């Protein structure tokens, strides 16, 4: 199973360390930040599968950040669990449209936290990632980064692999070049949008050898979509 990557944003170091320990023991990969600013830096490198976000943070609060992420196309499908203190905050969170997908109230047991995380991941289809991603004769080995089409091994560059993996795991949705850059290359990569076109062309050429190039569809004026159905 490929690892599920969780970003923890918590300003209190002892709690942050406790969360890291609990999550790592449950086999999650953990990255942690003390505030939103540091969390944004982490998001630039690679998007996590879930964000565990403390409500009370210095600077921007967790709840404000959750609302912001919800309205940003790059981040809007990352599930967020808000962490609150018992009392007032709890009532507010439960009654508000916070942008968070669930919340846990301190103090919570490790077991409760892991159960909540797994439930949210399942809801988002982000539970344990299968080692093999398969669609229509295309098989990606997520651990070894290998591709087979119609049982034949196919050479791919790491970028082309990530691009194909992103497409296959996000089918039937249109992504702009900017969104693809953010999601496949990462925000820290300052790459021109036409780089996306270059890699799409290469990927299509490879897929064409197997009669599958129509799976990557150009949506004029917007971007690209991966689909096993013709549109
Ligand atoms: Ca706090």
Q: Is there a contact between 137 and 150 (Cβ–Cβ < 8 Å)?
A: yes
State in Å: Cα 214 to ligand 1 middle. 49
Indicate whether this model's pTM tops 0.85. Answer: no
CATH at residue 206: 1.10.10.10
State in Å: Cα 23 to ligand 1 middle. 18
Q: Identify the pLDDT of residue 53.
A: 95
State in Å: Cα 16 to ligand 1 middle. 10
pLDDT tens-digit map of 55-66: 989 999 998 999
Q: Is there a contact between 35 and 59 (Cβ–Cβ < 8 Å)?
A: yes
Q: Identify the pLDDT of residue 1.
A: 42
Selection from 16, 13, 44 nearest residue 30 by Cα: 16
Q: How far apart are CA 147 and CA 124, in angstroms?
A: 25
Give Dmax over CA atoms of the chain in angstroms: 61
State in Å: Cα 89 to ligand 1 middle. 12
142 belongs to a structural domain: yes
State in Å: Cα 168 to ligand 1 middle. 38
Per-residue pLDDT of the chain (231 residues), as tens digits, is 457 999 999 999 999 999 999 999 999 999 999 999 999 999 988 889 999 999 989 999 998 999 899 888 788 889 999 998 866 666 666 655 677 888 888 888 899 999 999 988 888 777 666 678 888 899 998 778 899 999 999 999 988 998 999 999 888 889 999 889 888 887 666 778 889 999 999 999 999 999 999 999 999 999 999 998 865
State in Å: Cα 10 to ligand 1 middle. 6
Q: How many domains does the chain have?
A: 2
Give the domain extent around 112: 5-123
60 belongs to a structural domain: yes
Q: Which domain-ending residue is among 123, 156, 176?
A: 123
State in Å: Cα 9 to ligand 1 middle. 9
Q: Report the chain's terminal Cα–Cα distance, integer Å.
A: 33
State in Å: Cα 57 to ligand 1 middle. 5
DSSP for 47-88, please give it.
--SEEEEESS-SSS-HHHHHHHHHT-TTTTTS-EEEEEETTH
Kindly state whether residues 137 and 221 are assigned to the same domain: yes
State in Å: Cα 107 to ligand 1 middle. 13
CATH at residue 37: 3.40.50.2300
Q: Identify the pLDDT of residue 21.
A: 95
Kindly state whether residues 20 and 111 are assigned to the same domain: yes
State in Å: Cα 70 to ligand 1 middle. 21
Q: Is there a contact between 35 and 11 (Cβ–Cβ < 8 Å)?
A: yes
State in Å: Cα 141 to ligand 1 middle. 39
Selection from 123, 122, 143, 8 nearest residue 62 by Cα: 8
Q: Identify the pLDDT of residue 129.
A: 61
Q: Identify the pLDDT of residue 231.
A: 59
Q: Which domain-ending residue is among 81, 99, 123?
A: 123
């Amino acid at each position: 199973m490929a690892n599920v990557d969780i970003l923890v944003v918590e300003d209190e170091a002892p709690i942050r360390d406790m969360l890291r320990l609990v999550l790592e023991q449950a086999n999650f990969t953990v990255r942690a930040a003390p505030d939103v600013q540091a969390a944004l830096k982490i998001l630039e490198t690679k998007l996590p599968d879930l964000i565990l976000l403390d409500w009370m943070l210095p600077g921007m609060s967790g709840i404000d950040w959750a609302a912001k992420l919800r309205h940003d196309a790059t981040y809007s499908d990352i599930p967020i669990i808000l962490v609150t203190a018992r009392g007032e905050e709890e009532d507010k969170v439960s009654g508000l449209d916070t942008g968070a997908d669930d919340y846990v109230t301190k103090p919570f047991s490790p077991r409760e936290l892991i159960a909540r995380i797994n439930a949210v991941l399942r809801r988002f289809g982000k539970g344990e990632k299968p080692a093999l991603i398969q669609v229509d004769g295309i098989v990606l080995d997520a651990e070894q980064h290998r591709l087979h089409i119609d049982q034949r091994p196919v050479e791919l560059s790491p970028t082309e692999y990530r691009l194909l993996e992103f497409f296959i795991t996000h089918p039937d949705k249109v992504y702009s070049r900017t969104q693809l850059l953010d999601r496949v290359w990462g925000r820290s990569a300052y790459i021109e949008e036409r780089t996306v076109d270059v890699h799409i062309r290469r990927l299509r050429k490879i897929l064409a050898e197997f009669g599958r190039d129509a799976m990557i569809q150009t949506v004029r004026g917007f971007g690209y979509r991966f689909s096993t159905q013709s549109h």
